[in-house]
Chain A
Amino acid sequence: MPVDYRLSNLRALEAESIHIIREVAAEFERPALLFSGGKDSCVMLRLAEKAFWPARIPFAVLHIDTGHNFPEVLEFRDRRVKELGLRLVVGSVQEAIDAGRIRERPGQSRNRLQTQVLLETVEKHGFDALLGGARRDEEKARAKERVFSFRDEFGQWDPKNQRPELWNIYNGRIHPGESIRAFPLSNWTELDVWQYIAEDGLEIPSIYFAHQRNVFYRDGMLLAESDVLPRREGEEVFSATVRYRTVGDISCTGAVLSTASTVEEIIAEVATSRVTERGATRADDRFSEAAMEDRKREGYF
């Protein structure tokens, strides 16, 4: 223990996140933790585990499954949930499409369709708070979002009407039907997440590490060859050594050429990267300057 009573950046962030997670557990009737299998939600799950240790995490884990997930990620999700003895709630985009509740538009990713399935699932299970792994360094709309982000009964975010947040005090009071999205990783950067994964030896899905994969280029992004992603004319598949910087829907998540096969090598790569992770790998945020802002207003994560 250092004599000057200082915490490192990572341990200060960890302490803040645990404080936020405990506030959510204490102030809400039915919270749930959003889990995608991505690195941020792996960190979230670990922080939740730490927050209540040696007791179990006192809330369910919620996954919105687009039906276009990487199989490696689903396998990882199921295993972690079982290890921690948690209840997993899955909201299925495929089911909603099959039942005719939402309609898929040809040529578009299912990313936007997640919002309605998320809202339906939240209503069905009566969740009043969702813990998400979003970070403020990811995107400019997120840079202005509160840690406790108030959503009206339609799940909508109103950026002009946010509750002031002071000291370490969070206001979780809501009326029935309204909800809070809580973001304990708000102050973490991509590099912080990777350094934490390294320091704590966290397990993450294999697709984050360099592997051989059949890919093709579309709009400057490297997409995976997959049944769910029909190729257009002129798009040629080739084999490359790639890894993923973010984990999302196969149809809109791009890979990066990389030989980084350990967390340390990934950290070295991230530290020198000159492109944001969303800019590099997420088609969904590229179609307009305000893509994320618009989706959040509609009730997106």
Chain B
Amino acid sequence: MDLLRFATAGSVDDGKSTLIGRLLYDSKAIFEDQLEAVEQTSRAKGYDYTNLALLTDGLRAEREQGITIDVAYRYFATPKRKFIIADTPGHIQYTRNMVTGASNVDLALILVDARNGIVEQTRRHAFLVSLLRVPHLVLCVNKMDLVGYDQVVFDKIKQEFLGFATKLTIPDLEVIPISALEGDNVVQRSTNMPWYDGPSLLHHLENVHIASDRNLVDVRLPVQYVIRPQSNEFHDYRGYAGQMVGGVLKPGDEIMVLPSGMTSHVSHIETADGPVEEAFPPMSVTVRLTDDIDVSRGDMICRPHNAPRSAQDIDAMVCWMVDEPLRPGQRILVKHTTRWAKAIVKRLHYQLDVNTLHRNMSAEELKLNEIGRVSLRIAQPLFVDEYARNRLTGGFIIVDEATNVTVGAAMVVDAS
């Protein structure tokens, strides 16, 4: 059984919570005590049906204000796969939450209401999915029951979305007509839409091919921790621990360590459970080298002829996440893989309108939930790839030096 992480986007009105509630309910991931609580609340609120949407309501602050303030994580499993859902709210701070929720998912699920079709929010969600390089997108056209399960309605929405999607980077797209409330095409293929010959949503989630999504070409191992037991048994042991974020590494391989540029060979790759023949993402391993060279946390192990860019000048798409705007001249901290560095904002090239994809070249600052292209000068080199090539060596976070708060997410476009 493998693991699929997916993010859901859409507002409450699109039936997102109902859909998640149904996936959890039909896969038996909802327990009786949770269901009882929801039934009680439904009655207390005067609904004449059990509102499955209440299952995904979290905190008291949210229940009292009837809003969702943050990304919530849900879990369910079928015999084929385990699923982690990053459920991102639709209205406030949408961009910030969706960027957070979608940064490490395999698939994004966007809902539209069949009665309304593609709306501004749909385009915004799809753009963010593309910006974050989520490899798979599913557009669920929901509430098909309310349009008489009409194929014409579905085809029109599908065509319109496909047209818009050509401007984006979406490697894999599936469009599915569903009714979350009635359960059509959620778990079982619906008999109400004989004209639809694609998979049900759950079938698609269970079978979508994700093994090829990782970068297994460029060896990248950010050193997290140097393991030195200093015990009699392991007197001279020196191991470099970290999580593989790219490529396949084997004992005997020649490697290069950045920033020193020193080369050596892998003598052992190991875990507490024994030696590893091949290390690949997302394995956490410990690597030993044939030579005693200086390696510390924040260094990057790669191959001599396939190294990331060692860069102090980086152009990145930045999503800004706090009220105080980002401005040129500002001093910031960045964390990239396991490396912290100081940086300064050199230039804001443009602010991107996520609804129209229009570039506002005259923008002087980046406000909360805005996205723009920014040039940064970093105090020490970072070892980066383009975000499009590797999400984990191309993405980094921006942290406020004074408050220590994470204020931005950055995706490398270009570096030198």
Contacts and interface: CB of A to CB of B under 8 A. Distances in A.
Interface stretch (B113-121, B195-203, B224-232): B224-232
B282 interface: yes
Interface stretch (B134-142, B148-156, B269-277, B376-384): B269-277
Interface stretch (B7-15, B73-81, B354-362): B73-81
B70 A168 contact: no
A18 B284 contact: yes
- Range for the number of chain A residues in contact with chain B: 35 or more
Given A6-B211, A9-B82, A12-B282, A166 B229 contact: no
B391 A167 contact: yes
Interface residues of B, number: 76
Interface string A149-177: 00000000001101111111101011100
Interface stretch (B164-172, B174-182, B255-263, B398-406): B398-406
Interface stretch (B53-61, B185-193, B306-314): B53-61
Interface stretch (B29-37, B123-131, B324-332, B342-350): B29-37
B77 A273 contact: no
A9 B70 contact: no
A136 B224 CA distance: 25
Nearest to B276: A1
A30 to B, nearest CB: 16
Contact of B397 (A7, A136, A144, A171): A171
A279 B34 contact: yes
Contact of A49 (B75, B224, B234, B272): B272
A56 interface: yes
Given A22-B224, A144-B59, A144-B71, A169 B396 contact: yes
A9 B280 CA distance: 15
A228 B271 CA distance: 44
Contacts of A273: 31
B284 to A, nearest CB: 4
B122 interface: no
Interface string B1-41: 11100000000000000000000000000011110010000
Contacts of A189: 75, 77, 82
A143 B58 contact: yes
A162 B97 CA distance: 11
A259 interface: no
Given A9-B2, A168-B392, A51 B241 contact: yes
B42 interface: no
B253 interface: no
Contact of B59 (A16, A22, A293): A293
A13 B242 CA distance: 15
A141 B71 CA distance: 11
B278 interface: yes
A12 B409 contact: no
A25 B224 CA distance: 10
A11 B284 CA distance: 10
B1 A9 contact: yes
Interface in B201-227: 211, 214, 216, 224-225, 227
Contacts of B297: 26
A175 B403 CA distance: 8
A166 B406 CA distance: 10
Contacts of B227: 52-55
Interface in A225-241: none
B387 to A, nearest CB: 10
22 contacts: A1-B278, A7-B282, A9-B81, A12-B282, A15-B283, A16-B284, A18-B243, A19-B284, A22-B224, A50-B273, A54-B229, A137-B74, A143-B73, A144-B73, A160-B70, A164-B409, A166-B99, A171-B399, A173-B333, A276-B34, A279-B34, A289-B37
Q: Closest 4 CB pairs between A and B?
A: A279-B33, A53-B272, A50-B272, A18-B284
Interface of A: 1, 4-9, 11-16, 18-19, 22-23, 25-26, 49-56, 136-137, 140-141, 143-144, 159-160, 162-169, 171, 173-175, 186-187, 189, 191-192, 273-276, 279-280, 289-290, 293-294
Given A140-B72, A174-B404, A175-B404, 5 more contacts: A1-B277, A54-B272, A164-B321, A168-B392, A187-B84
